[in-house]
Amino acid sequence: MTISTGNQGVCIVNQIFIYLHFVWKFKMEKGLELFFEGFLKKESVFFDKKALQVSYTPEIIHHREEQIKQIANILAPSLKGDRPSNVFVYGKTGTGKTLTTKHTTQRLMEIAKRENIPLGVVYLNCKLKRSSDTEYRLIAQLAAELGKNIPSTGLPTEEVYKAFVKALNKNKQNYIIILDEIDQLVHKAGDNVIYNLTRLNEESESQISIIGISNDIMFIDNLDPRVKSSLSEEEIVFPPYNALQIQSILKQRAEIAFNKEALSQGVIEKCAAYAARDHGDARRALELLRVAGEISDRKNSKIILIDHIDEAEEKIDRDRILDIVTTQPKQYHIILFSILSLKPNRNNVLFTGEVYELYKTLCNKTNTSTLTQRRVSDIISEFDMLGMINAKVISKGRYGRTREISVEIPEAMLPQIKKIIEESIKL
């Protein structure tokens, strides 16, 4: 009897638990349903949010008339069947390099299609796609863009090139290949791939021209001389936007993106000021405006306020830094960890030599091959370009030059970043 009563009690408890779980689940699902229904009915500050996205190409590109003219002049011979020069486009992040290049090539293709001119444009972002991790994958991806599918692994690289040339010849038209973030390709696959691509014109009936786009203004100087001479037949520099130029860009996009009177006074100016401070990065200004609009919506505000811009700035900085740290390769993690570990020891100012010494020690601890001091210095420059550190070149007289490094990452984020890196390098 005692055993039977005990089992009966357990049964009742289980049934109560199942019932309570069912009630909780029902309320959660009903709550979500009501939330999404409410969201659909809620007014938004946005009219067409796509106008604030990086992928959006406006009809008119402001403040890049000179660069558009330069690219157009270089590519125009392709309309007569001639091979244009290769072009190297560089400038800091958010200066309109990709936007201007896409805009110009799109207009070029419109004319080519209208006049039945055999011409093709292939765009590849070497940072976003794994297809640029190796020379094999890059050529396989380019062949796929021309309709020739190649296995992602398994063939000799020479065979992949042959298949790519066959695809070029089959279509019997010239191609302009845009390699965005070309520096990422070279870091992963080496610069020989660029040289091999430029040499394909000697064995193909269809001619190819390369437009390389990079945020790294020092990238071209570190290439093999053969590659440098073949790639940078023409160079176009994109200067940073100033605050007034960014304001006009934001006003153009805001007219499309937001409902009328959704922006309070001073919002555009505040966004432009933040972006001008960050090397004239128009992309960042657009992102600030978009995130501020999303914050406004979540707070059920019908107007975007300056306070929303400040909140957006803090959120973007936090998310961007964590994203950058998470996606960096192991060598970059060790170098950044060296900088962050030394930071408290020298009043927030370090020198390249100190960082390199600790970097070598950490490489030994983690069984990682050691890069040269020059390569480590290049990576430090990349962190500077990303805004995570400030690396100022100073002269030490007869002892040469070095970099004076200070950390720009907010203090509150340092423990979280160190933890991410420690797990990555298994320190």
Q: How many residues does the chain have?
A: 427
For residue 403, report the phi and psi dihedrals to the nearest 5 degrees: -110, 130
Q: Which residues contact 188 (CB under 8 A, 6 or more apart)?
A: 126, 132, 133, 134
Q: Are strands 119-125 and 389-395 parallel, antiparallel or unpaired?
A: unpaired
Instruction: State the pLDDT at residue 338.
Output: 93
| Degrees, nearest 5: CA angle 248-249-250 | 90
Check residue 290 and give its pLDDT: 94
Judge contact between 312 and 292, C-beta under 8 A: yes
Q: Which of 168, 78, 71, 178 is nearest to 119 (CA)?
A: 78
CA–CA dist 409, 73 (Å, integer): 42
Tell me the CA distances in angstroms from 351 to 94, 348, 358, 393, 394, one per residue in order: 29, 10, 11, 10, 10
Beta strands 234-237 and 174-180, pairing class: unpaired
Contact present, 4 and 11 (Cβ < 8 Å): no
CA pair distance 303, 226, nearest whole angstrom: 56
User: What domains, with CATH codes, occur in the chain?
Assistant: 65-237 (3.40.50.300), 241-318 (1.10.8.60), 328-425 (1.10.10.10)
Vertex 224 angle, CA 220 and 227, to 5°? 75
Q: What is the pLDDT of residue 29?
A: 66
Token pair recorded at residue 387:
């805004």
Contacts of 204 (CB under 8 A, 6+ apart): 165, 168, 169
Please report the pLDDT score of residue 150 as a whole number: 83
β-pairing, 389-395 vs 350-351, is unpaired
Q: What is the crossing angle of helices 182-189 and 192-199, to 10°?
A: 110
Q: CA torsion sign, 56 to 59 to 60 to 64?
A: positive
**Helices (DSSP H) in 299-329: which residue ranges?**
306-327
Rounded Cα–Cα distance for residues 105 and 64 (Å)? 14
Please, which residues have CB within 8 angstroms of residue 368's CB and are 6 or more apart in sequence? 330, 331, 334, 362, 425
Q: What is the pLDDT of residue 3?
A: 46
Give the C-alpha separation, 266 to 291, whole Å: 16
Model's pTM, two decimal places?
0.72
Please report, in tens digits, the pLDDT of each residue of the chain (427 residues total): 444 455 666 677 677 777 666 666 666 666 667 656 666 767 889 999 999 998 898 989 999 999 999 999 999 999 999 999 999 999 988 999 999 999 999 999 999 999 999 999 999 998 876 667 788 889 998 998 988 888 877 788 889 898 999 888 887 789 999 999 998 888 888 888 888 888 888 878 889 999 999 988 777 877 888 888 777 789 999 999 999 999 999 999 999 999 999 999 999 999 999 888 767 889 989 999 999 999 999 998 989 999 999 999 888 888 878 888 888 889 999 999 999 998 765 456 788 888 999 999 999 999 999 999 989 988 998 888 787 888 887 776 666 677 788 888 888 888 889 999 998 888 7
Q: How far is CA 417 from the centre of its chain?
A: 20
Distance CA 5, CA 83 (A): 90
| Residue 114 phi, psi (nearest 5) | -65, -35
